[in-house]
A and B are shown apart, each in its own frame.
Chain A
Amino acid sequence: DAGVIQSPRHEVTEMGQEVTLRCKPISGHNSLFWYRQTMMRGLELLIYFNNNVPIDDSGMPEDRFSAKMPNASFSTLKIQPSEPRDSAVYFCASSLGTSGGLYPQETQYFGPGTRLLVL
């Protein structure tokens, strides 16, 4: 299996620009998670989906952030407009389970991350 695929791996943009991060979960997985990792705040859950439906987006920092999952094999995280404080590594993870990630037995598999730098 190819694992979780994220693109791009690196993104450098200027403040005010729109940024779109992409994720392809492991085939057959029904839950998808977006995380952000920074030195100051560590690893934070932004949002997660089960069967393409957003379950909890309480971690999304503000309205500039939005996430979609139009089908079982693709998700996007969009930042518009981007700001320097959005600079971080963004991880996507997926899992398989009947509860949609609500049971801890459902291991999350992480992608390699997208390293975002907003100038």
Chain B
Amino acid sequence: AQSVTQLGSHVSVSEGALVLLRCNYSSSVPPYLFWYVQYPNQGLQLLLKYTSAATLVKGINGFEAEFKKSETSFHLTKPSAHMSDAAEYFCAVWYNQGGKLIFGQGTELSVKP
């Protein structure tokens, strides 16, 4: 079965600091992986996705993620946090058998001035 684990339900960084949100997956086959962002009282918005092309994926708002097969990880990073990045971030893995997205529990990112 495919699953995804996000380490840390809450991450707090200072404005301008590096953002690192961790995601590990378990999959018996090459996975497809996604990061979504959810701003308060809004739906989820796709940040980026990995679909077996380049291992370093660039997304919107300056975010990027690197697929590391040896570590079964897909961590999300941004070099310099902005106040507007405060939101909840979800990692998701595509479940081939049935065409489903399986979401992690989410990580809430806070950005301090």
Complex formed: what's the CA distance from A105 to B44 in Å? 17
Q: Is the CB of A112 within 8 A of B100?
A: no
Complex formed: what's the CA distance from A48 to B98 in Å? 10
Instruction: State whether the Cβ of A4 lies closer than 8 Å to any Cβ in chain B.
Output: yes
Q: Is the CB of B49 within 8 A of A91?
A: no
Q: How many residues of A contact B (CB 8 A)?
A: 25
**CB proximity to B under 8 Å, residues A77-119:** 91, 93, 99-105, 107-113
Q: How many residues of B contact A (CB 8 A)?
A: 21
Would you give 20 A-B contacts (Cβ < 8 Å), ordered by A?
Answer: A4-B43, A44-B103, A45-B101, A48-B100, A55-B99, A56-B99, A58-B98, A93-B44, A100-B99, A103-B99, A104-B32, A104-B49, A104-B101, A108-B46, A109-B46, A110-B43, A110-B44, A111-B43, A112-B43, A113-B41
Question: A107 with B99: in contact, given A42-B106, A112-B41, A113-B43 (CB under 8 Å)?
Answer: no
- Of A42, A91, A104, A110, which one neighbours B105 at CB under 8 angstroms? A42
**Which positions in B face A, CB cutoff 8 Å?**
32, 34, 36, 41-46, 49, 51, 90, 94, 98-101, 103-106
